[in-house]
Amino acid sequence: MPQAEKTPRNNNQPTAAVLSQQQGEDKAAFQFADARHQLVKHMQLQQLANNSRQVKQWHAIGSLAKQHPIQRKLVIGTFNVSAWAETNNLEAAVNEVYRQMCADTDVNADAELLVAVQGNAAAIKRQLSKWIENKPGKASASDKSHPDYGRKQQNRAYESLYNLARGLLGWVESKPMRRVEKDLANQVYQNAPLQAALNGLLGKLYFKIHNLAAEGLVDPVRQQAILQELQTGLSNAKGRFDEHHRWVQDNAGEHTKLGHYQRYHRATAQQDANANIDHGVPDNQLEVLRNPVAYSLKDKMLLLHDLMEYFGRRQSWNPTTAGEDLLPVETRDDTMVTTAVDAEGERTGAVSMSDGDAGAKKRARGMGKTTASRDEAAPSTVLARYLKLPVWAGQSMTTVRMMKLAQWVGASELENSALAMTIFAYWRKDYDHRSDFAYHTLFEVLDVAKNFGVTYKMQQNTHIHPDIKIENVLAEARGKYQHLVQITQQFATQLKGLNIGEPLRGQIAQLFQDIKALDANVKAAFQLASANDQNEDTRTDNLNVVVIELENAVEKQRQIKALLDTIPIPADL
C-alpha cells in the first residue's frame, strides 16, 4: 500500500557530526562521528568564507529576501564539506562522504536504505559532487541548466549521515519525475484553455477590487487609496529599504514600487542584462486584470502573487499599503498536508501546518535545516520518498495564501485548478533557481491546493492532477451563463409594476441593454469556441471572450441589484 509506514531512525534525537583529523593520515581523510556515542577531538581546519571570487561575481543577486554569495554548500552536522573540498580535493571529499555514509551505524540498521544507496552508488556520487562543489554553472538550453539562471542553488545541511543518505537517495530516485514535472510546466504555459480559466479569475479580482467599498469591506476613502496605489504601481506611503532589505517608513524616502516578485524580476533582469527575466506588468496593475488576454502567464502569476501580498498581512520586504489585512487569514483546514495515501493515491492521513509551535509547523511543512533541505523525518517527506516524487522547499504556504486570494473573490473549481497549476509551472520555469529559497515542486504545491478543492492524488512515480481542456471551461461557462440568464429574468420580473423615476429608470435600462449586448457576444463566442471544425486558436480566442464577457455581465447584474436595493418594494410584489 503506497503510504508512509516506514519511519526514519533517530526521529526525535538527531545526531551532530563533528570533524576528526586522523593523526598521520592524508589531508583528505576526515571522519564524521556520532556525537551521541563518543566525543572526538575537533581539530580546526581552515574554513573558507564560502564566497570565492567567481561565485561572488556571478551570484550577487542572492535570495528573494536577502543576498548571499553562496550557490552550493553541503554541511553535515557542523562540518562544511564544501569549504573543505574547495581547498583540498573534491573527488576525495565525495568518496570519503560516501564511504562513511555506507559505514554509518544508522544507515546499516536500515537495510533497505543501505541496499538502495549502494545500488545507486554512481548516481549518488555524482549528486554529492554537485552538492559539494561551490561552482556556478552557465545558463544554457540543456536539460542540466536553466536557460536564464544556470545551475540550481543547493544549500544543503543535514544533522547526520543517515539523513544525508535519505536526502541523496530521494533526489536521485525522483530524477525521472523532475523531468516529468519540467515537461508538465512547459505544457501548462502552452495550455490556452487553462489560461482562459485563469483569465476568469483575474476578471473576478478586477471587480472585487473596485467593489470593496460597496461590499462594506473598506470606506470610500480607503477604496480610493487602494485604486490609486494599484493604478500607479506605487505605495502611497514613503519609505526605504534598510540594509536587511526590510521596508522602513520614512517621509524623506520615496513612494515604493509595489510587488515583491515584480521588483525582483526587474532588478535581476537589469543586473543579468537578460530581458527574458523581466516582466511585462505595467505600472497600472489593474490593466492586467481588466485585459488579461494581453499578458503572459508569467506576468499574471507575478501579479497574482503580489496582490496576495498586497491584500494580506504585510511582509517586512513590502511597503505599507492601503490594501493590507483585507485577505482572510488561512484556517487549519486550509493548511493540511498529506502524510498517507491509499492505493488510488487519495489522502488518508494528514497533519496541519497550523498546529503546534514553530518547530511543529516547520516539520509539518517538511522543512529542513536550510531552505533547500527537506526534513527527512517529516511524514510528508517520508511519503514522497516512498513514492519517489520530487520534494525540495517544503509544502507551500505561498500557495495556501494565493488560494485564499482566489477563495476571497469567489473562484470556481476550475479557476482554482488553473491557479494551482500556474503556481507550480511558474516555480518550475521562471522562478530564480539561484535563490536561497528553493522552488516548490508539484507535490508541494498541489498537496495544499487540494485543501481548496483542486484534484490531486499521488502514486508511485505518478501525479494525478487537473487536466484543463476547452470542454471543461466551456461546460463551466455554460452553467454560469444559464444562471446569469435566470437572475436577469428575475430582475426584469421584479421591475414590473414599479413606478421608478428618472434618472434611476434610465440607469437600470442602460444596464439591461449592456447585458443584452454582452449576451449576444457570449452566444456568438460560445458557438465558435464549441465548433470542432474551427482551428484551436479560433476556439481558444472565443473561449476567452466567453469567460471575460461573462464576468462583465455578472458585474452589470451586481450594479442592477445595487440600484434595485435602493427602491422601496411594495408589499404585494
In a domain, 115, yes or no: yes
Residue 347, classed as helix, strand or coil, is strand
The reply to whether 319 falls in a domain is: no
Amino acid identity, residue 506? G
**Position 53 pLDDT exceeds 70:** no
Quick one: 299 and 337 in the same domain?
no
Of 265, 284, 311, the residue at which a domain comes to its end is: 311
Half-sphere exposure of 420 (CA within 13 A, CB side): 32
58 backbone φψ class: left, alpha, beta (φ>0; ψ -120 to 50): alpha
Q: Is residue 321 part of a domain?
A: no
| In a domain? residue 205 | no
Amino acid at 493: T
Q: Is residue 191 part of a domain?
A: no
Q: What band does 136 get if pLDDT is binned at 50, 70 and 90?
A: low
Cα angle 525-300-559, degrees, rounded to a multiple of 5: 55
Nearest to 298 by CA among 272, 275, 274, 279: 279
Shared-domain flag, residues 123 and 42: yes
CA distances from 59 to 136, 164, 268, 383, 479 (A): 8, 26, 11, 34, 51
393 and 438 Cβ atoms separated by less than 8 Å: yes
Residue pair 196/543 in contact (Cβ under 8 Å)? The answer is yes
| 362 Cβ neighbours under 8 A, 6+ residues apart | 375, 394
Q: Are residues 250 and 126 in the same domain?
A: no
Domain span at residue 551 reads 470-564
CB atoms within 10 A of CB 360: 14
What pLDDT digit, counting tens, does each position of 330-374 carry? Answer: 999 999 999 999 999 999 999 999 999 999 999 999 999 998 999
Which residue would you say has higher pLDDT here, 573 or 326?
Answer: 326
150-192 confidence digits (pLDDT tens): 778 889 999 999 999 999 999 999 999 999 999 999 999 999 9
DSSP codes, 422-475: HHHHHHHHTS-TTSSSPPP-HHHHHHHHGGGT---EEETTEEE-----HHHHHH
What is the mean predicted confidence (pLDDT) over 307-315? 96
pLDDT one-digit tens code per residue, 200-209: 999 999 999 9
pLDDT at 28: 43
Residue 50: pLDDT over 90: no
Closest CA to 306 of 322, 318, 290: 318
Residues 28 and 169 in one domain: yes
Each residue's pLDDT tens digit, 140-151:
555 567 888 877
| pLDDT for residue 256 is more than 90 | yes
Give me the DSSP letters along 207-261. Answer: HHHHTTTTTTSS-HHHHHHHHHHHHHTEEEEEEEE-TTS-EEE-TTSEEEEP-HH
CB neighbour list of residue 305: distance below 8 Å, 6 or more residues apart: 260, 261, 398, 402
**Among 54-68, 297-311, 543-557, the least confident range:** 54-68
Judge residue 288's burial from the number of C-beta atoms within 10 Å of its C-beta, 0-12 exposed, 13-18 middle, 19 or more buried.
buried
The chain-wide mean pLDDT, for the chain, equals 86
Does residue 227 share a domain with residue 157? no
> How far, in Å, CA of 551 to CA of 530, rounded?
19
363 and 457 belong to one structural domain: yes
Average pLDDT, integer, range 314-339: 96
Number of compact structural domains in the chain: 4
Residue (of 200, 199, 425) closest to 294 by Cα position: 199
In this structure, what DSSP letter does residue 152 have?
Answer: P
224-251 mean pLDDT? 94
Residue type, 264: Y
Examine the pLDDT at 387 and tell me if it is beyond 60. Answer: yes
User: Containing H/E element for 173?
Assistant: helix 161-173
226 lies in the same domain as 300? yes
Total Cβ atoms within 10 A of residue 257: 16
Q: Tell me whether residue 559 is in a domain.
A: yes
In this structure, the answer to whether residues 499 and 528 fall within a common structural domain is yes
435 and 475 part of one domain: no
Give yes or no: residues 259 and 342 share one domain: no
Are 41 and 155 in the same domain? yes
| Cα distances (angstroms) measured from residue 510 to each of 481, 517, 549, 560 | 20, 11, 17, 10
Work out the pLDDT band at 67, boundaries 50, 70, 90.
very low
- C-alpha 402/C-alpha 397 separation (Å) is 9
Residue (of 73, 174, 77) closest to 116 by Cα position: 174
Q: Is residue 3 part of a domain?
A: no
Q: CB–CB of 381/390 below 8 Å?
A: no
316 located within any domain: no
What's this model's pTM, rounded to 2 decimal places?
0.87
Comparing 138-142, 303-307, 332-336, 550-554, the range with the smallest average pLDDT is: 138-142
Same domain membership, residue 386 and residue 288: no
- Kindly state the cell numbers that stand for 20: 576528526
C-alpha cell at 226: 487602494
Q: Are 446 and 428 within 8 A, CB to CB?
A: no
Say what the pLDDT of residue 313 is: 94
Distance CA 458, CA 82 (A): 35
